[in-house]
Amino acid sequence: MISFLTCQFEYTEPSPNVFNYSGGDTILAIAENHGKRVRCHNLIWVSQLPDWVVNGSWTAASLTAVMKTHITNLITHWGGRCYSWDVVNEALAANGSWASSIWYDTIGPEYFFLAYRFAQEAVEKTGQDIKLYYNDYGIEAPGPKTTAAYNLVKELQARGIRIDGVGLESHFEVGATPSKDAQVEAKQGFLDLGVDVVVTELDVRFPEGPFYTAAGEKQQAQDYYDTVASCVEVGPRCVGITVWDFDDAYSWVPSSFPGQGAADLYNGTLQRKPAYYAVAEALQGVSCSVC
């Protein structure tokens, strides 16, 4: 499972050097009581920042110090209870250039590499085997953003900075999901660099209603099937798949994309959709009977 909001900067460091771990502690305790591992998400991102970070008067040096303190404190506090961290989230624009953020705009591209260096140093001090990931959307199929993500991995490696894997968010639209072959190609590109991949935020939303037609659900099932099957096909170094929200009633999609929805494996009354069975069949390596 993923600890999302409870690990965000605005909740964990609401004031300078004042840390609040209560939300994350609660999520981790629930996971541990049920024998589940937690991917902690995330350390550095453009969003979910407290006002004191967004509106501060920073130099590159002073904001770098803030970043180091934040990364070090979170990794140190939770240690191996987080089996992995998304160190930086969504650093790239659609065309493969750097995305604008308080971090990039103040520090420049070096912020990305510093974040991973600080994370590596903190992990080494814990003595725990905590994996360090980069996470983004739009890198699930070949294209300029995917190529840019490959280059980030290569640059970290060239500098001797640790990166263990890349998270592919996989927020898709019904009928516009990359093909299985395209997804395999993108994943294999990361694997060829020596890092793992993981599907981190999978959902397949309808861009408009009606949502629950037989034809629409059949296509949604195919899209889910192709995505999961691509992970299975590249082998055990595609280390996991997380679906983003449990059912349509609690999905993030309607509030973020008005008029869109029905993105999850269960409908709003907790009934399994064809996509649920498609995922199960993809995991078993058999043909899709509901696609």
Catalytic residue set = 201
* Integer Cα distance of 139 and 153 in angstroms: 13
Locate tokens 């303190």: which residue?
69
| Residue 99 contacts residue 46 (beta carbons within 8 Å) | yes
- Inter-CA distances, 156 with 189, 194, 213, Å: 16, 12, 46
Q: Which residues contact 92 (CB under 8 A, 6 or more apart)?
A: 98, 99, 136, 138, 139, 145, 148, 149, 152
Q: Which residues contact 218 (CB under 8 A, 6 or more apart)?
A: 274, 290, 291
Query: Which helix or strand (DSSP H or E) is residue 153 part of?
Result: helix 144-158
